[in-house]
Each structure stands twice: as structure tokens, then as C-alpha cells.
Amino acid sequence: MRHGLSTYNLQRRVQGHCDESTLSDEGRKTARQAGKALQGLQFDAVYSSPLQRARETAELICAQLEAPPSIECTDLLKEINLAEWEGMTFAEVEERFPEGFRTWRDRPHELQMQRPTETGGTESFYPVLDLREQAQQFWDMVLPQHGGKTILVVAHSGINRSLISVAADFPPDHYNTIHQTNCAINVLNFPGQLGEGVQLESVNLTSHLGMPLPKTREGHKGPRILLVRHGETDWNRDKRFQGQIDVPLNDSGRAQSEKAATFLKDVAIDAAITSPMLRPKETAEIILKHHPAVKLETEPLLMEIAHGLWEGKLEAEIEAEYAETLNQWKLTPEKVQMPEGENLQQVWDRAIAAWEKILANAETERPTTILVVAHDAINKALLCYLTGLEPQHFWTFKQGNGAVSVIDYPKGRDRRPMIQALNITTHFGTGVLDKTAAGAL
């Protein structure tokens, strides 16, 4: 989690390592709201940045929890060190350091600064690259201590982005790809130690703050895309591989779609595109009941992965017949050619082609919101593409049935996007964790 809204946030000042910034009244309020959202979860440990805006946030959260562990502060969770800029407003930084500010905005991993040394001199360093190393040290420290347990981490925007980026293996130039709202919740699932893969279950959840979707950034220019996975089918529930067999929603899937529709009811949707298959198409139609003026278009490139001979089979049946290939699919999916079906590169290519087509057709005169409803494999491929990942990272992103992800193009459709939120399922009323079916594709 990121700390609550601070005094420097309100003044639009650079915070970094500076510890003069404190929580605002609004920041304290949202910290308590976050604590209430986390009630019912049992934490094995709580780690916080020692900077007071984060430490107080952690204290306010823990005050809402039943028998929380004591808070352990560590310098490994300190915010990014922007030594030359700290305390300045962003406007002052842009005026005094125009070249550095442009680098920070467009290529943050290349930003170079000077910092004081213990001997009284100065040295050059790269703030973003140093922060990635700091994030890696944190994970290396805490993961071996808490296997199979749940821990709470309260820190800052920059270090949180780096923690997520290092865990998921995002390249350094994608530092700004993940947004962090004050007191938003991120959920990361580690199967083992760092480097053994991570599942990003959810990123930047804000519903507990009375904010169903994160707000667009000031000066937003490009489209906002709401990427939705279809609602549940009986085959999802049974762990039966669907692929391109046209399985309809079940009653639970229709109920999920109705809840997604209510969740997005007050969002001004300008256009809608769906895979032509029954399950996403019906999901989209249910959502658009509250947006009758929006025409639903279909895009065949968004169809689910073709599993070939696996389609229609239960996972247990596939394991009996294709044990080695199924195991490879789980561990190294990029190496699998589905028998009489597709491989991931083929899915990647057509998913990206569909995305670029959607962007090309987006309005440029004004920011618009586009609903895109597709499938688990398609959505995973797109999210990997948008964060600089390759097919071997296919399992990094969770996509629950009826979940909503938010992708913004704040600088225009021809510039790099930002993942504003990932895999929102809070509209199902089951809390911050995704409890949808973990079924087959």
C-alpha cells in the first residue's frame, strides 16, 4: 500500500527521502478506510517505511485490525532518493531542471543525479535503478521469512512501483507504467522466493476509498480502456478447457456481469468492443444496458486461445493424456504448441494487432473511455505487452471472471500507457481478494 495523502502531495512537492511531509486529514481518513477494508485478513508481519507519512499510515491501518503484529520499519521501504529536487514543487523542478525533468517524465530510468557522500563529497547515481536494487533487497529479506503467510507492506509510490516491477520482472524503462493512488491496495502472490515468478492478483484497488475507478491524471489526453474478462461459465467452474468452444455464461457469470454493469453504470463509456464469442459478448451486452447509446462492435482477433485437442476436456483428463505438455504449459507456457491449436506467440500477435486497431480507431479530439471485453489468455497477453513483458511471463497477471482493469493513455494514444488498476473484483462484495473461479481458459 501507498501512504495516505500528505501535505507535500497537496502542495505538489517532491517528497523522496525528505521527512518533513506529514499525513493530511484526508490522508488519515483514507488510512482508516484502508484498515477497515483489510479487516478479516490475518497478517504475519507488517513492514513500513520509517518516513512519518508512511509510518503513521501503517499505525492507523493496524488500529483497525484485530491483534495485528508490531510494525517493523525498514530503510529498504524508503521512497526514491531525488536528492537535488526534494522539497521543491514540481513546477519549480521543471523550471530549474528542464532537461532532467524531461528525462524523469519520459525516461525515468536514465535520470542521473548527484548525492552527498559520507566523506563530504558528492557522487553520481541513478535514482530509479538504485530503487530497483533496494526493492530487490527488501524481497530477498522478507520472502524467506513468511512462506505461505500474508504480510502487509506500507510504503510510497516510487518504491511500490519498484517492488511490483522487480517482483514481476518489468524492464526498468517501465517504471511509470504502474500507478499508485494514496492508500490504494495491491495484492501480490509469491509461489516461492524472488525469481520464481509472482502473480499480480490486483493492483491499485481504490473502491474502499469511495473511488470505484482511479481518477485520470491531470492533463489526461488519450483514451481510457476498461479491459474486462467475461463472466463465469460452467466450464470455468469445472476447470474444463474452453478455448474457442463457444460456451455461454452460467447464472453466476450473468450475476457477475450485472454487478460489473452496476459498478460501471456511472462511467461515461464512449465505445465498446468484444470478442465475438458468447461469453464475452453477453458480458458486454449486460454492461451496456446502462449505456444504450453505445454500439457494441465485435473483433475476431480477441477470440480466446485455441487449445486444439484440449478443448472440452477437464484438466485432470488432459493431465492423464498430455502430462508433460500440461506441466510445460504451467511452467514455460511460451514453449507449448497446443495440439491442433495455437501457441502463445500466435495469441500475442493477434491480441496486440487487435489492441493497436482499437487505439487507431480511438478519438483524438477528446479523451474517451472504451470498453473491451475479452478472455483470460487475451487479457493476460495484452497486460504483458503493455508492461514490457514477453510470453514467458504469461502467468504474471490474474484475470478473474468479470474483473475490470483500467489502462490509461495520459499523454495520448501514441505514447506509453499506464496501468491505473488491475483485476478489480471488489464489485462482487467479497473484499479485496479475488475469489472468482480459478478455472481453465
Catalytic site residues? Answer: 230, 304
Grid cell at residue 293? 447509446
Radius of gyration in angstroms for the set of CA atoms belonging to the chain, rounded to a whole number:
22
Q: Where are the alpha helices (DSSP H) in 7-143?
A: 7-11, 25-37, 52-62, 90-96, 98-106, 127-142
Q: Which residues contact 210 (CB under 8 A, 6 or more apart)?
A: 33
Helical pair 157-168 and 127-142, crossing angle rounded to 10 deg? 70
Which residue matches cell numbers 522487480?
A: 166
Alpha-carbon distances, residue 342 vs 45, 71, 308 (angstroms): 43, 49, 7
- Name the β-bridge partners of 373: 228, 274
Give the span between the Cα atoms of 413 and 139, in whole angstroms.
34
Could you tell me where the beta strands, DSSP code E, fall in 299-376?
369-374
Give the span between the Cα atoms of 428 and 401, in whole angstroms.
10
| β 369-374/199-205 pair status | unpaired
Nearest residue to 224 (alpha-carbon basis) of 213, 234, 239: 213
Residue 129: CB atoms within 10 A of its CB come to 17
